[in-house]
Amino acid sequence: MGTLPPADLYRQVAEANNRGERVVVATVARTRGSTPQQRGAKMLFFEGGEAAGTVGGGCVEAEVWAEAREALRSGQSALHHFSLTAEEASEEGMVCGGTMDIFLDVWKPAI
Amino acid sequence: MKDSTDNLSSISSLLSRLFSDGSLAVVVTLIAAPRNVGAKMIIEEKRSHHGSLADPALDLAVILQAAVFLASKEETRTFYGREFAPELSEFSEAQFLFELIQPEQRVVICGAGHVGASLAKLAALLGYCATLIDDRKKFVRREDFPETNIELVKAESWSEAVRAAVGNGRGVSVAIVTRGHSEDEQCLRAVLTLSELPGHGSDLDNLPAGTPDYVGLIGSKRRTRIVLERLREAGVSAEQLANVHAPIGLDIGAVTPEEVALAIIAEIVAVRRGGSGHSLSSR
pLDDT digits (tens, 9 = 90+) for B4-43: 444 556 788 888 888 878 888 999 999 999 999 999 999 9
* Confidence band for B185, pLDDT divided at 50, 70 and 90: very high
Burial level of B192, CB count in 10 A (0-12/13-18/19+)? buried
- Classify residue B172: in a domain, yes or no: yes
Pairing outcome for strands B106-110 and B172-176: parallel
Mutate to test the interface with B, among A39, A55, A74, A100 (most CBs of B within 10 A): A39
- On whether both B132 and B263 belong to a single domain, the answer is yes
Residue with the bigger pLDDT between A11 and A43: it is A43
Mean local confidence (pLDDT), A37-66: 87
> A78-83 and A51-53: which strand pairing?
unpaired
Q: Are residues B91 and B115 in the same domain?
A: no
Last residue of a domain, one of B62, B85, B101: B101
Q: Looking at B70, B101, B132, which one is the last position of a domain?
A: B101
Task: List, in order, residues 6 or more apart from A52 with CB less than 8 Å away.
Answer: A1, A4, A9, A12, A43, A44, A46
Q: Do B81 and B203 fall within a single domain?
A: no
Task: Please state the domain extents for chain A.
Answer: 6-107
What residue numbers bound the domain in which B122 lies? 106-280
Q: Look at chain B and report how many structural domains it folds into.
A: 2
pLDDT at residue B170, as a whole number: 86
Residue B151 lies in a domain: yes
Which residues in chain B are contacts of A14 at CB distance < 8 A?
9, 12-13, 16
Closest of A102, A108, A105, A21 to residue A64, by C-alpha? A102
B58 and B171 inside one domain: no
In angstroms, the separation between the Cα of residue A78 and the nearest Cα of chain B is: 6
**Which of B47-56, B68-77, B262-271 is the most confident on average?**
B262-271
| pLDDT of residue B70 exceeding 50 | yes
| Distance from the B263 Cα atom to the nearest Cα atom in chain A, whole angstroms | 25
B1 falls within a domain: no
pLDDT at residue B277 is higher than 60: yes
B117 alpha carbon, distance to own chain's centre: 21
| Whole-number pLDDT of residue B138 | 97
pLDDT at position A80 is: 95
Taking the CA atoms of residue B64, residue B67, residue B73 and residue B78 in that order, the dihedral angle to the nearest 10 degrees is: 30
- What percent of chain B has pLDDT above 70? 91
pLDDT score of B221 more than 90: yes
In a domain, B243, yes or no: yes
Give me the pLDDT at residue A94, please: 54
Looking at the structure, tell me whether residues B31 and B152 fall in a common domain: no
Instruction: Please check whether residue B59 lies inside any domain of the structure.
Output: yes
Final residue before a domain boundary, out of B75, B101, B127: B101
Looking at the fold, whether B27 and B56 belong to one and the same domain comes out as yes
C-beta atoms of B19 and A101 within 8 A: no
Assess whether B18 and B33 both reside in one domain: yes
Q: Same domain for B136 and B267?
A: yes
B150 and B266, same domain (yes or no): yes
Give kind and range of the element (H or E) at residue B18: helix B8-21
> What is the C-alpha separation between B17 and B21, in angstroms, rounded?
6
Q: What is the pLDDT of residue A101?
A: 94
pTM assigned to the model: 0.75
Chain A: which residues have CB within 8 Å of chain B? 3, 5-7, 10-11, 13-14, 17, 27-30, 38-40, 76-79, 101, 103, 105-110
Judged by DSSP in three states, A88 sits in helix
Would you say residue B222 lies in a domain? yes
